[in-house]
Amino acid sequence: MFSTLLGALPPDPDLADATMGDRIRATFGELEAAGVELVASGELPALATPSAPPDPPDPSSVVEEWRLETSIATTAAVKQVLPGPYSAGRNGARSAQAWAEALNPTIAALAAAGCTFVEIDEPDALAISVVASERRRFVDAHRRLTDGIGGIHLSLTLTGGNLDVAGPATFFDLPYASFAFDLIAGPDNWRLIVDAPQDRGIVCGAIGLAPGADDSREVLVWAAHYAASTNGRGLARVGLANAPARPGEALPTRVEMLRRLAIVADATRLAGVESGEELARSLDPRAIDARSAGLGRFEPAARRGRNAP
Our measurement of the distance from residue 19's CA atom to the centroid of its chain's CA atoms, rounded to an integer in Å, reads 26
**Comparing C-alpha atoms, which of 153, 142, 122, 150 is closest to residue 38?**
153
Q: Decide: 46 and 53 in contact? Cβ < 8 Å.
A: yes
Sign of dihedral through CA atoms 280, 284, 288, 289?
positive
Rounded alpha-carbon distances, angstroms, from residue 3 to 102, 131, 271: 30, 33, 11
Q: Give 72: exposed, middle or buried? Use CB within 10 Å, 0-12, 13-18, 19+.
A: middle
Closest CA to 161 of 132, 106, 194, 122: 122
Cβ contact 144:103 at 8 Å: no
What does the pLDDT profile of the chain (309 residues) look like in tens digits?
A: 999 999 989 989 999 899 999 999 999 999 999 999 999 999 866 544 444 556 788 899 999 999 999 899 788 999 999 999 999 998 777 899 999 999 999 999 999 999 999 999 999 999 999 999 999 999 999 999 999 999 999 999 999 999 999 999 999 999 999 999 999 999 999 999 999 999 999 999 999 998 889 999 999 999 999 999 999 999 999 999 999 987 677 789 999 999 999 999 999 999 988 655 555 555 555 445 433 433 344 444 454 444 444
- What domains can you pick out in the chain, each with its CATH number? 2-272 (3.20.20.210)
Report how far Cα 309 is from the mean position of its chain's Cα atoms: 47
Sheet bearing 38-39, strands edge to edge: 77-78, 38-39, 2-4, 238-241, 201-205, 178-182, 153-158, 117-122, 80-83
Contact 36, 76 (CB under 8 A): yes
- State the pTM of this model: 0.87
Rounded Cα distance between 72 and 98, Å, is 33
